[in-house]
């Protein structure tokens, strides 16, 4: 088949964010827009020439069209072999596992994660390197530079392949395998967790569950694992058919967007004992008990404290890492276990070096992401299985496990306030004002609390000594409470300002307060210091988690 060289004009807005390039679908549908970016990836990722590439996505609108384009550009750029999920479906954790299992040169994931889908929704693309993790900033910076100067790309002149059948194809010399999206990943989960012990929970009737796939990628994985392999209750799965627009919903597993699940778990009668949800591409999770929500930061701490009880982690853990905005609950556990706890910038790629260097076993972020050294991405289904296995071992409810943890380690009241789609200049002005203030805040007092540290967080990677700056303004008080301000890198419209607030309470008599009430004083301090209302013209956050 003929390889065509297409002349093109560069776009100036293809700079990847925290998790790849995310834009509105309409942006990717512009002439040559996707092609330019994919060609730029292949020009930087020279290792994929003659190698294996893993390809798939979360099934959102434009996923299938993009896959056909990527396959043809891959063939024209000398990729030898592509493994592709059936119907173009592969969860982000599954891609990471396939890269590692089959020693691929890398992978391309088509997803905008928890962002809305559909014709008017969002689309995204990112490259994962040979360790299975997201490409580092050094790689994405090079891709961006290529994209700004691109003048032509190469593409094979071939027909589209059939995505719905398990089969092998060729485009020129490049082999394409359409594979089962689920089996390899499900087999890995069965190696890490005691499926028989979990299965007995369901067969005995001790536990019922509800898992909400939010019409996103984890539906097929949930059916295979929870329904077929674990024999969960017949009504355990909801919204498990992946849809291009996620049924008009927002595939973000939090209390605001997983409304059907939350209603079931909070029902006056007959609510399941365990609830969970995952997001658009399957790398996030929310854990619920009956009338009880587990904060993702607490979830990471509880996992760290109990990992040694589970089959895949019986040898113990060598260390743990959390992102800057994630609460310091896991720090308390690490201190007691005598292991190191690393504080990194937001973005799973920052955990990669620590995992590869065997400095950590577990890691997590407050944005409903947790994972371990089994892959190099956060992993929603993995987290759900971790909790199910823990329940089976402890024979306790979600709430009982969490409250016992608080009693031993103290409770970190924690919340995140999101101000979405605000004017970018206003958001940047707010952050610059905070950076300027931070140089003089240490040692001062506000509302009876003394500020012990105020800075703009920077991170020096202990493995390669790379330095990442301007990652968020943090303010720490003398009672261990903390406020962090940062701009999100995952939005596609305007700017999203995120404010993270936490307060540490050791006395178990103070562990029953409403979170927003318990943090009301710090919320007022955050609003005062940042001047959110005047600078961003917002009276209240759009989302509170």
16's CB contacts (< 8 A; 6+ apart) are: 126, 140, 143, 144
Q: Which of 113, 370, 372, 438 is catalytic?
A: 113
- Determine which helix (DSSP H) or strand (DSSP E) holds 127, and give its type and residue range: strand 122-128
Asked whether 392 and 203 are in contact (CB, 8 A), the reply is no
Question: Does 256 qualify as catalytic in the annotation?
Answer: no
- CA neighbours closer than 13 Å in the CB half-sphere of residue 125: 27
Asked whether 449 and 478 are in contact (CB, 8 A), the reply is yes
Asked whether 360 and 372 are in contact (CB, 8 A), the reply is no
Number of neighbouring beta carbons within 10 Å of residue 495 = 21
Asked whether 479 and 449 are in contact (CB, 8 A), the reply is yes
The C-alpha atoms of residue 380 and residue 372 are separated, in whole angstroms, by 11
Matching residue, tokens 């709430």: 399
Q: DSSP 3-state assignment of 486?
A: strand
Matching residue, tokens 């002005």: 429
The C-alpha atoms of residue 252 and residue 115 are separated, in whole angstroms, by 7
Number of neighbouring beta carbons within 10 Å of residue 266 = 15
Angle, helices 380-394 vs 398-409, to 10°: value is 90
Per DSSP, the residues of 518-544 read: HTHHHHHHHHHHHTHHHHH--SS-SEE
Q: In this structure, what token pair is assigned to residue 209?
A: 């569950």
The C-alpha atoms of residue 371 and residue 90 are separated, in whole angstroms, by 18
Asked whether 118 and 67 are in contact (CB, 8 A), the reply is no
The C-alpha atoms of residue 433 and residue 22 are separated, in whole angstroms, by 27
Q: Name which of 194, 375, 198, 209 is nearest 287 in CA terms.
A: 209
The C-alpha atoms of residue 446 and residue 383 are separated, in whole angstroms, by 39
The C-alpha atoms of residue 493 and residue 236 are separated, in whole angstroms, by 35
Asked whether 28 and 64 are in contact (CB, 8 A), the reply is no
Active site amino acids: 113
């Amino acid at each position: 088949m003929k390889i065509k060289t297409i002349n093109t004009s560069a776009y100036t807005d293809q700079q990847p964010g925290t998790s790849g390039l995310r834009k509105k679908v309409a942006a990717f549908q512009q002439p040559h827009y996707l092609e330019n970016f994919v060609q730029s990836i292949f020009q930087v990722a020279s290792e994929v020439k003659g190698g294996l590439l893993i390809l798939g996505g979360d099934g959102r609108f434009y996923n299938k069209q993009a896959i056909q384009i990527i396959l043809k550009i891959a063939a024209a750029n000398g990729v030898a072999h592509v493994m592709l999920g059936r119907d173009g479906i592969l969860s982000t954790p599954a891609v990471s596992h396939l890269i590692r299992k089959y020693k691929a040169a890398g992978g391309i994931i088509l997803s905008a994660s928890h962002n809305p889908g559909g014709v008017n929704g969002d689309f995204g693309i990112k490259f994962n390197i040979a360790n299975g993790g997201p490409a580092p900033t050094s790689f994405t910076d090079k891709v961006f530079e290529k994209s700004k100067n691109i003048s032509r790309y190469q593409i094979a002149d071939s027909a589209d392949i059939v995505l719905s059948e398990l089969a092998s194809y060729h485009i020129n010399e490049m082999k394409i395998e359409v594979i089962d999206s689920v089996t390899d990943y499900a087999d890995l989960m069965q190696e890490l967790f005691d499926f028989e012990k979990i299965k007995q929970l369901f067969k005995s009737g001790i536990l019922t569950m509800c898992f909400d796939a939010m019409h996103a990628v984890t539906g097929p994985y949930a059916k295979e694992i929870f329904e077929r392999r674990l024999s969960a209750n017949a009504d355990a799965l909801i919204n498990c058919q992946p849809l291009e627009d996620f049924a008009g919903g927002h595939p973000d597993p939090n209390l605001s967007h997983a409304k059907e699940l939350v209603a079931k778990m909070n029902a006056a009668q007959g609510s399941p004992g365990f609830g969970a949800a995952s997001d658009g591409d399957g790398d996030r999770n929310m854990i619920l008990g009956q009338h009880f929500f587990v904060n993702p930061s607490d979830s990471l701490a509880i996992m760290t404290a109990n990992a040694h009880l589970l089959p895949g982690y019986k040898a113990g853990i060598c260390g743990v890492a959390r992102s800057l905005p994630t609460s310091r609950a896991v720090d308390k556990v690490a201190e007691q276990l005598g292991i190191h706890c690393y504080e990194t910038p937001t973005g799973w790629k920052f955990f990669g070096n620590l995992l590869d260097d065997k400095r950590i076993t577990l890691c997590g972020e407050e944005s409903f992401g947790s994972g371990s050294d089994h892959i190099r991405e956060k992993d929603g289904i993995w987290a759900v299985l971790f909790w199910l296995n823990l329940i089976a071992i402890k024979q306790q409810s979600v709430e009982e496990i969490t409250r016992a943890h608080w009693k031993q380690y103290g409770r970190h009241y924690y919340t995140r306030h999101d101000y979405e789609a605000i004017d970018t200049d206003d958001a940047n002005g707010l952050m610059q004002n905070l950076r300027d203030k931070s140089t003089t805040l240490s040692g001062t007092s506000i509302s009876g609390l003394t500020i012990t540290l105020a800075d703009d967080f920077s991170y020096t990677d202990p493995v390669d000594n790379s330095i990442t700056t301007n990652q968020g303004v943090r303010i720490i008080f003398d009672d261990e409470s903390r406020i962090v301000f940062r701009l999100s890198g995952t939005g596609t419209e305007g700017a999203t300002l995120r404010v993270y607030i936490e307060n540490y309470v050791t006395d178990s008599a103070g562990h029953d307060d409403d979170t927003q009430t318990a943090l009301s004083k710090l919320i007022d301090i955050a609003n005062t210091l940042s001047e959110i209302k005047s600078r961003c013209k917002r009276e209240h956050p759009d989302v509170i988690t």
